[in-house]
Each structure stands twice: as C-alpha cells, then as structure tokens.
C-alpha cells in the first residue's frame, strides 16, 4: 500500500469514528504518527479530500494550527447541484473522472449512466475539437448530463 493510500485511509477512519462527520488534525502530528513528511499529508488532503469528492477542508495556520476536514452530507439533488456549481467554465478529463468516481461512491447516479457519462467526457470524445476548446465543451456537456439526473 502506498503511503498516500495509508494516509487517506487513516483520515477516513478518523472521519468514520466521529459522528459529526468532521475531524481536526495537526499536520505535523499526523505525519509523525504515520511516519511520513508533512508535505505528503498536504498532497493527500488536496488530492483526495476535495469539494468534488464531498469534503470541505479548512485550515488554521500558526502554532496551534489545524486542518479540519468535514464530510459534507447531501441528498442526491443537492450533491449534484454542488458539483455543477463547482465545475465552472472548464473541466479537464482527469477532474471529470474524479467527479464520476465520487458520484459512483455516493450512488448518486446509476452505473449505466455513469458509463455513458464517462464516454461523453473522455478525451477520445473530443479528438476532433480544437485543443483550446475541449475543456470548455466538456464542462458544458457534463453539466447538461448532470441536469438530467435531477
């Protein structure tokens, strides 16, 4: 298991233990507990605990600083609206794939629909579109597909 997987699983376990779906961690203490460098904690938090994946991350800097990770709870409709709001005007294929994974994990969209959405936002689907327009078109298509799920 990679250290990033271990860190992510550790944080997820902390979240599961807390009924309020929130956990406060001190980056240096967590790094010492796990046996890694603090920058690895930062990497995991910024890549795996994003709004697109249903998390809110707040940080307080300084000597008594902490990082608070909150699992946002949504019903299907509000979760999809949250995703649509966060997409913006452009969407790259990797981010689209991450969002689809999150939708799958939360069972917000049926499996067959997810497969169709994945095909529709893949790089192959935009091969004939000029490079500078792909992410803009992908965002528009993805948002329209999400609207059908409301």
**Residues of the chain whose pLDDT is less than 70?**
63-64
Decide which of 49, 71, 93 is a domain's last residue.
71
Domain identity same for 137 and 106: yes
Domain range for residue 36?
A: 3-71
Same domain, 120 and 88: yes
Task: Tell me what pLDDT residue 105 has.
Answer: 85
Give the largest Cα separation in the chain, rounded. 53
Total structural domains in the chain?
2
List the CATH number of the domain containing 41: 3.30.56.130
103 and 49 in a single domain? The answer is no
Structural contact between residues 24 and 13, judged by C-beta atoms closer than 8 angstroms: no
- Closest to 147 measured CA to CA, from 76, 74, 81: 81
pLDDT for the residue 23: 93
Q: End of a domain among 16, 40, 71? A: 71
- How many Å apart are CA 109 and CA 87, to the nearest integer? 17
């Amino acid at each position: 298991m990679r250290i990033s997987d271990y860190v992510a699983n550790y944080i997820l376990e902390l979240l599961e233990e807390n009924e309020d779906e929130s956990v406060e961690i001190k980056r240096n203490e967590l790094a010492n507990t796990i046996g890694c460098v603090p920058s690895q904690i930062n990497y995991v938090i910024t890549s795996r605990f994003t709004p697109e994946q249903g998390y809110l991350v707040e940080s307080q800097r300084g000597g008594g600083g902490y990082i608070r990770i909150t699992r946002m709870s949504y019903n299907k409709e509000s979760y999809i609206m949250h995703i649509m709001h966060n997409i913006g005007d452009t969407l790259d294929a990797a981010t689209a794939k991450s969002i689809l994974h999150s939708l799958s994990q939360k069972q917000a969209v049926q499996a067959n629909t997810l497969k169709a959405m994945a095909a529709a936002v893949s790089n192959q689907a935009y091969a004939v579109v000029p490079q500078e327009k792909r992410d803009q078109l992908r965002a528009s298509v993805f948002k329209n597909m999400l609207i059908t799920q409301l």
